[in-house]
Structure 1
Amino acid sequence: MEPEFYVLMEDASPCIFGPLEKQRWSYACAKQLIERLIYAEGAENGLEFTIVRPFNWIGPRMDFIPGIDGPSEGVPRVLACFSNENPARANGQIFNVGNPNNEVTVKQLAEIMTRVYSKVSGEPPLGVPTIDVSSKEFYGEGYDDSDKRIPDMTIINKQLGWNPKISLWDLLDSTLTYQHRTYAEAIRRAMAKPVASS
């Protein structure tokens, strides 16, 4: 498949969805609908807006637990890039935010995660092979999705001077290191508790 079929550009890629009986497309349709409403409100009534399309964001403290992990600081820092630093250049824009070099299959991700976890935990890699399971077999009949979605970063680079810098390995390493350091002992304790029998 040629790149023009899976590299997504904010201002040129066609918005094509699958058939109605493939329920998974409702998520993509809902996101597109809200983008269209926001854009129309900007065009018709002068709403200042920036649309951000995150492509598989991950990182330490991404899924923090309020009251346990403290206040969330990550989201405000990310949003400040658009709202505070260059508001005029971000207004009315749609930005893909991701790293086109980090695109992998689910199988490749599982294999990388196994190696990263072994490095972070000090435990040997699992001696279990990675198997291929089709999306239809895993999710059922109603599932349908794009095979590839790679963000084009031209607009965000041109408007804000931003380029992704962190490799998938480094993202997974820093995220899993944080998660392991923060939660591994609590998980071990929880797993060691006896389970009440019924």
Structure 2
Amino acid sequence: MAVAERKRVLITGAAGFLGSHLCDRFIKENFHVIGMDNLITGDLRNIEHLFKLENFEFYNHDVSKFVHVPGELHYILHFASPASPIDYLKIPIQTLKVGSLGTHNLLGLARAKNARMLIASTSEIYGDPTVNPQPEEYWGNVNTVGPRGVYDEAKRFQESITMAYHTFHGLETRIVRIFNTYGPRMRLNDGRVLPAFIGQALRGEPLTMFGDGSQTRSFCYVDDLIEGIYRLLFSDYAQPMNIGNPDEITIKEFGEEIIKLTGTNQELISLPLPTDDPKQRRPDITKARAILGWEPKVSRAEGLKITYNYFKSLPEHEIKHKDFTWYNKSL
């Protein structure tokens, strides 16, 4: 395809876990990709392999401030946001600003460019759910002033303003609600359960679960998630859509899987539950199956093996580093 014929896509949070995988996917599909990230939680190593390409460019910019991109723009994918407890408890104001001011700025850019915009929402908008699995029609059970509220409410507002632009201005918008996702390029010490367990196993430490480990999570491999997001962007569906793996497992069972995977003999020990920690997390993906023809393909055993090998390959100083200050703030 000639350079002039390439569609142009802006991906915010491009140096992060999901953003970098999206950059790879759109490069593979022969788009001109404009990555944007202020690197507050992102890492340029995730996208440095793209810098040599003619159809990739990068802006070091905070989307909470005015966003300008010269030239045509056909699609915007807004993935800029802290997404783990260790991040949004350290930088709560930035978390709220990127979900509110950042989303507003990008919706304005999308309107000016007549671009279709997809926002990354999250299963956290369901809070500590009272129904399981969680369908898109469920409105959630969120503590607005708890420690997780800065992230949960930023995402809930993000959905509201995006839908307002869709209904009032007629802007083409898409909303993906992302459930627990894992894979290469996750940060080993970001406070989420999967990298926390693997990091502890690699350091020979006990695996720390919160409470008795009876709370559940559902883990989706990153390649499956990216496929779902890609299909949603090019669908005609404007309402929020769950993308995740409905294969639910307790944290205790998951810890036992990690111990078996890593060939270690660490014990699982219990810590008090952080405030508002969700007791259940499982997506209802009926809509994704029916509308997108999508469902996850990668088994947890296969995905965990790939992810474990990635974490094992990290420099020793990254494996040894750990930070539980976020946990103390969340109690």
Indicate which of 131, 134, 142 corresponds to 1:5. 131
How big is the shift at 1:77? 5.3
Pair 1:177-2:322 in alignment: no
Partner of 2:268: 130
Q: Give me the whole-angstrom Cα distance separating, in 2, the residues matched to 1:82 and 1:19.
A: 29
What residue in structure 2 maps to residue 69 of structure 1?
A: none
- Contact 2:130 2:141 (C-alpha < 8 Å) held by counterparts: no
CA distance in 2, matches of 1:27, 1:19: 10
Matched residue, 1:80: 230
Contact 1:89/1:159, CA 8 A, preserved across alignment: no
- Give the deviation of 1:75 after TM superposition: 11
Alpha-carbon RMSD across the aligned residues, in angstroms, is 3.0
Give the aligned partner of residue 54 of structure 1: 178
Partner of 2:287 in structure 1? 155
Q: Which has the higher strand share?
A: 2
Shift of 1:62: 4.4
Q: Deviations over 1:133-174 (max 9, x none)?
A: 221xxx4xxx11321021000111111100112222222112
Which of the residues 241, 256, 273 maps onto 1:95? 241
The residue type equivalent to 2:138 in the other structure is S
Find the counterpart in structure 2 of residue 45 from structure 1: 169
**Could you tell me the TM-score, scaled by structure 2's length?**
0.42
Does residue 109 (structure 1) correspond to residue 259 (structure 2)? The answer is: no
Q: Distance in 2 between matches of 1:104 and 1:13?
A: 21
Alpha-carbon spacing, 1:19–1:47, altered in 2? closer, same or farther (3 Å): closer
**Counterpart code for 1:100:** P
- Distance of aligned partners of 1:76 and 1:100 in 2 relative to their CA distance in 1, 3 Å threshold: closer
Q: 1:14 aligns with which of 133, 136, 139?
A: 139
Write the letter of the residue equivalent to 2:133: V
Corresponding letter in the other structure for 2:240: I
Q: Which has the higher contact order (CA 8 A, sep 6+)?
A: 1
Distance 1:28 1:111 in 2: 29
Residue 19 to residue 45, structure 1, CA distance change in 2 (3 Å) = closer
What do residues 103-128 of structure 1 show as CA deviations (whole Å, max 9, x unaligned)? 2233222221111122xxxxxx22x3
> Secondary structure, in 3 states, of the residue corresponding to 2:182?
coil
More helix by share: 1
| C-alpha distance in 1 between matches for 2:235 and 2:245 | 24
Q: Rg bigger for which structure?
A: 1
Letter in 2 for 1:15: G
Residues of 1 paired with 2:147 and 2:225: CA distance? Answer: 33
Residues 30-89 of structure 1, C-alpha deviations (whole Å, 9 max, x = no match):
11111111011101111111111111111134459xxxxxxxxx7995443333xxx243
Partner of 1:25: 149
Distance in 2 between the 1:145 and 1:4 partners? 13
Question: Deviation above 6 Å: which 4+ runs of structure 1?
Answer: none
Q: Which runs of 5+ in 1 are unaligned?
A: 65-73, 119-124, 192-198
How many correspondences in the alignment?
A: 157
1:34 to 2:158 alignment: yes
